[in-house]
Amino acid sequence: MTATATAATLPLTAGAPSAEATPQARPDLLYVGSWNGGQVHGVAFDPVQGVLTSNGPVAQVSSGWVTAHPDRPLLYVGSQLNGGIVTALAVDRTTGALTRLGQVSTDGGATAGGGLSYLGVDRPSRTLLVANFEAGLATSLPIHRDGTLGAPVSVVVDTGSGPSPRQSGPHPHQVVVAPGRRHALVPDFGADRVFVHGFDGTTGALSPAETGPGAYATDAGAGPRRLVFHPDGRKAYLLTELTAELQLLDWNGRSGELAHRQSLAIDSPDFTGTKSGAELAISRDGRFVYASSRGENTLVVYEIERRTGSLSLLQRIPSGGLKPWSFTVHPSGRWLLVANEASSTVDVFAVDPRSGLLTGTGNSLPLPNPDSIAVCAR
């Protein structure tokens, strides 16, 4: 189940801004996955000016999704190969060089599929949570002290389908640990469900979901894709892909139930193209929600009403390119970095923390088919 690769180091220094060029800030290390590509690209990001500098390919590895450990110099790359493989890489904090630590299969012995749609680190349990879209399952992998990954401690298989030709079976799109750390939620694109699994906060193990109160059903053909919790732990926001809707849900942490309260279309009223909700994030202070539409090629900002959690539209602006597959909010909260997959650009937007509004900076970096952006700890 586990295959350790020979250590290989690739430099991440060519083209990086020098200390003399940016004395006011040390560039951050960004890593960008390439949709259906065989490389991970390195980027130096100036957190003061919001400027991106390419460092070229830094790892020869099939990449479908990348994520960084929140406080350790570790990068994890998910691929579609061999049932869904995750590659662990160590990051040199000074140079940004990557050292391959090994690979682990996520399918728990399953034979079908392998398109990974999400990787996320649960820091307290030292676990990597994985959504295997094509195989219809979610997996938790232990993170060892040296950053390598162990064999799955749990594999849970979703069930169900929807009316769209793309919903012939279950397709998990994310795994999110709920407040209280007793549950993990899996928005399933294919099943039109958000499955609520039990979660062991010590081992990171997932337990099978119940189909009654253990799952929240969207409208048929909605295609749940992304979910975020409000900092108060009592509300969640769900983005659907096929109907491009943003939903406000009440969360009962004791029973593990979600209840619908509000739905809003993220596309403009006159949009007649194919809907495709993509990415979702909430501001650290719980005042704003950000979403992207791959159908309309826009970024959408909502204000959260303090008492009720209800959403109201603040802003809808072009994403800077085509098909904003995902975006990442910089840890400072000052920048939003957009992976415009179809136009092969990463674009930088400034975030006003008081108003929540986004402003295009014009800073754009050409990279082949970017699908995800990871900011690595330094």
State the pLDDT confidence band at 108, using cuts at 50, 70 and 90: low
State the pLDDT confidence band at 96, using cuts at 50, 70 and 90: confident
The Cα 56–Cα 51 span in angstroms is: 16
Mean pLDDT over 146-157 rounds to 95
Judged against a pLDDT cut of 70, whether residue 369 lies above it is answered with yes
H or E stretch covering 95: none
Position with higher pLDDT, 187 vs 106 = 187
Judged against a pLDDT cut of 50, whether residue 22 lies above it is answered with no
pLDDT at 110: 53
pLDDT at 186: 97
The Cα 338–Cα 365 span in angstroms is: 10
- Which fold would CATH assign to domain 2-376? Methylamine Dehydrogenase; Chain H (2.130.10)
Judged against a pLDDT cut of 50, whether residue 20 lies above it is answered with no
User: Alpha-carbon Rg of the chain, whole angstroms?
Assistant: 19
pTM of the shown model: 0.91
Mind listing the pLDDT tens digit for each residue in 189-247?
Answer: 999 999 999 999 999 999 987 645 579 999 999 999 999 999 999 999 999 999 999 99
The Cα 58–Cα 39 span in angstroms is: 7
